[in-house]
Structure 1
Amino acid sequence: MEISVFKRELFAVMCDVQKILHETMAPICQQHGLTLQQMHVLVELAREPGLTPGRLSDQAGILRTNFASVCRRLEARGLIERRRSETDRRSLRLRVTDEGRALLASIDEEVQRRYGDTFAAEPPETFDAIIGGFRALDELSRKLVR
């Protein structure tokens, strides 16, 4: 595939994914008092507990200047907590609290309620292909930002 075609298709897919998030997940997040950024932080921390704020900021794609306020809001709601690293007392590690995990479970239930029938109608191969594509895209993006 020609690189210019790839770039156009990549841009189109990214716009489509963003549109899907805003049409499907943003209303659910709002219903639970979250922004998409806050949801992303919770999901990243649930997936990989104990990240440093800097690493989490990078993984979530949130500018560090904006990241502190996102974390403060989540911490104020009791959804995440900061802990000192056991190996380096100067370093902070972030974790999702029990309340944060309960909120994520509630959001998962709402996603299932709204979209479960659509998900169930798709063959497993569809999800395997999408996840494979996301992983390949993530790998490519890591190479691009070096």
Structure 2
Amino acid sequence: MPESTPSLTLALLQARESAMGFFRPLLNRYGVTEQQWRVIRILRQTPDSTLESREVADLACILRPSLTGVLGRLERDGLVKRWKPETDQRRLCVTLTERGEALFDEMSKEMVRQYELIQEQLGPENFRTLMQLLRKVQGLHPGDPGPHT
């Protein structure tokens, strides 16, 4: 029987689960889901902490219908504000509130420590290489011939 090709998608999912093991306890302690944290982080790292909801969905890798619920809970908890610009009522913008920014600032120190633990276990060079390779994988497009064709 021929050896099967390793599953890239399965390996990525398993690696994600391993990495999330470093962060889930912290998210649980603060009562924030993984999706909520991704939204908070993306908004906080945006210059004015404001994006259109479709941009948030794309950057956070959350399907738009699911994002509606995530944003609703974040708004209920006072962490984000949703609003429509007067100039274009079709757009829905999302802004991180002061409370959301404070939560990010409070959690980020502990999140950085978890990244440091991952880097310690992988080694700094392996961590840099991993991040470079992941950026390359993110840039892949089906049907595009690669440089090695």
Instruction: Report the TM-score when normalising by structure 2.
Output: 0.74
Q: Which has the higher helix share?
A: 1
Counterpart position of 1:29 = 27
Larger radius of gyration: 2
Q: Distance in 1 between matches of 2:87 and 2:123?
A: 46
Listed as ranges, the matches of 1:59-70 within 5 Å are 59-70=59-70
- Which deviates further from its counterpart, 109-118 or 91-100? 109-118
Counterpart position of 1:19 = 18
**4+ runs deviating over 6 angstroms:** none
* Distance change in 2, residues 1:139/1:115 (3 Å): closer
Counterpart position of 2:130 = 130
Q: Distance in 2 between matches of 1:117 and 1:8?
A: 27
From 29, 41, 44, give the equivalent of 1:43. Answer: 41
Q: Distance in 1 between matches of 2:32 and 2:23?
A: 10
Which sections of structure 2, spanning at least 5 residues, go unmatched? 143-149
Aligned-residue offset at 1:10: 4.1
Counterpart position of 2:71 = 71
Q: Distance in 2 between matches of 1:115 and 1:55?
A: 25
- Matched-pair contact (CA < 8 Å) for 2:84–2:90: yes
Q: Deviations over 1:48-93 (max 9, x none)?
A: 3432222322332222222211101111111111233364243221
**Match of 1:78, SS?**
coil
Q: Distance in 1 between matches of 2:121 and 2:14?
A: 25
> What value does the CA root-mean-square deviation take over the aligned residues?
2.6
* Distance change in 2, residues 1:137/1:33 (3 Å): same
**Corresponding letter in the other structure for 1:58:** D
Q: Distance in 2 between matches of 1:127 and 1:114?
A: 13
Instruction: Report the TM-score when normalising by structure 1.
Output: 0.75
Q: Percent identity?
A: 28
